[in-house]
Amino acid sequence: MAKLYTENPSNSEQLKPREETVNFLLNYSKALKIIPIGTKNFETFIN
Amino acid sequence: MNIKSLSDAQLVKNYISGQEAALSVLINRHQQRLYGFIFSKVYDRDVTEDVFQDTFVKVIKTLKKGNYNEQGKFLPWVMRIAHNLVIDYFRKNNRMPKFKNNGDFDVFSVLSDGAANAEHNIVDQQIANHVRLLLDELPEDQKAVIKMRMYQDMSFKEISENTGVSINTALGRMRYGLINLRKMIEKHNISLTN
């Protein structure tokens, strides 16, 4: 019984974003360049 | 020094100065808590995924624009962004109720787009053809009245003028014509419904 109580909940490992989502964010970050011109910021994406 | 052992504040600083790897560490470090936080509010994996992504898109933009005010509270700041996005999601969802197919009940079984599909169109054409064939079996005077009334959309006054009979006679021919059509349909057990 003690073992059961100390077990991690089975879904704790699953509550993570999908790998594609994380990869998308990392690629998005790499591609995004923000160029400030005057008081405005311009977003550009580099493929 | 190992990048993974750096504090959030240092990683944010590194990221702003152009070290992309710092973002990866930040995401990995906080993904489980943030994801769990969003999921505990929306209870939907797909929505959680969307909100999680939108949260970090906002984080990335804010950091790159240099609008982030470091006070040693990176995670609470990210959580607040996620919280606001969750509220936005519920607001939007209240305006546009979403029907989900959860397996027990398929909403599309009772909703249709109203447009006839190809099969319906073919069956409709067949029915129209069968009705024309049946009409040909009627006596000439009854057939003429039904054709003028149904296919040429003429009034009984016009039919009576056209055929040289009284309106009542035209009405009578129409009535007997329809009765005869029904008899033929019943006799030959023809199905004329789509």
Evaluate if residue A28 carries a pLDDT over 60: yes
Evaluate if residue B53 carries a pLDDT over 90: yes
Q: Which of A34-38, B80-84, B95-99 has the highest mean pLDDT?
A: B80-84
In this predicted structure, what is the pLDDT of residue B118? Answer: 83
Residue A14 — pLDDT band, cuts 50, 70, 90? low
- Which chain A residues contact residue B54 at CB under 8 A? none
Q: Which residue in chain B is spatially nearest to A13 when comparing CA positions?
A: B32
Identify residues of A whose CB sits under 8 angstroms from chain B CBs. Answer: 12, 15-18, 21-22, 24-26, 28-30, 32-34, 36, 41, 43
Evaluate if residue B19 carries a pLDDT over 80: yes
Average pLDDT over residues B53-71: 89
Q: Which residue in chain A is spatially nearest to B25 when comparing CA positions?
A: A26
Residue B97 — pLDDT band, cuts 50, 70, 90? low
Report residue B23: phi and psi, to 5°.
-65, -40
Evaluate if residue A9 carries a pLDDT over 80: no
In this predicted structure, what is the pLDDT of residue A33? Answer: 87
Q: Are B6 and B14 in contact (CB under 8 A)?
A: yes
Average pLDDT over residues B105-114: 69
Considering CB atoms only, which of A17, A32, A43 is closest to B49? A17
Residues 6 or more apart whose Cβ sits within 8 Å of residue B156: B149, B167, B170, B171, B174
Contact A25 B57 (CB under 8 A): yes
B150 Cβ under 8 Å from any chain A Cβ = no
Contact B27 A34 (CB under 8 A): no
The CATH number assigned to the domain with range B3-103 reads 1.10.1740.10
CA distance B68 to B59: 9
- Give B151-165 pLDDT, tens digit per residue: 888 899 999 988 889
Residue A18 — pLDDT band, cuts 50, 70, 90? very high
B118-187: which CATH architecture?
Answer: Orthogonal Bundle (1.10)
B24 Cβ under 8 Å from any chain A Cβ = yes
Report CA-CA distances (Å) from B117 to B106, B120, B139: 20, 5, 36
Evaluate if residue B135 carries a pLDDT over 70: yes
In this predicted structure, what is the pLDDT of residue B46? Answer: 92
- Count of A–B CB contacts within 8 Å? 50
Min Cα distance A31 → chain B (Å) is: 11
Contact A26 B64 (CB under 8 A): no
Mean pLDDT of chain B: 87
Could you tell me the residue ranges of all domains in chain A?
17-47
Evaluate if residue A27 carries a pLDDT over 90: yes
Considering CB atoms only, which of A12, A25, A33 is closest to B53? A25
Polymer length of chain B: 194
Contact B61 A26 (CB under 8 A): no
Whole-complex ipTM: 0.74
Polymer length of chain A: 47
Could you tell me the residue ranges of all domains in chain B?
3-103, 118-187
Average pLDDT over residues B168-175: 93
Report CA-CA distances (Å) from B26 to B3, B8, B20, B56: 10, 7, 10, 10
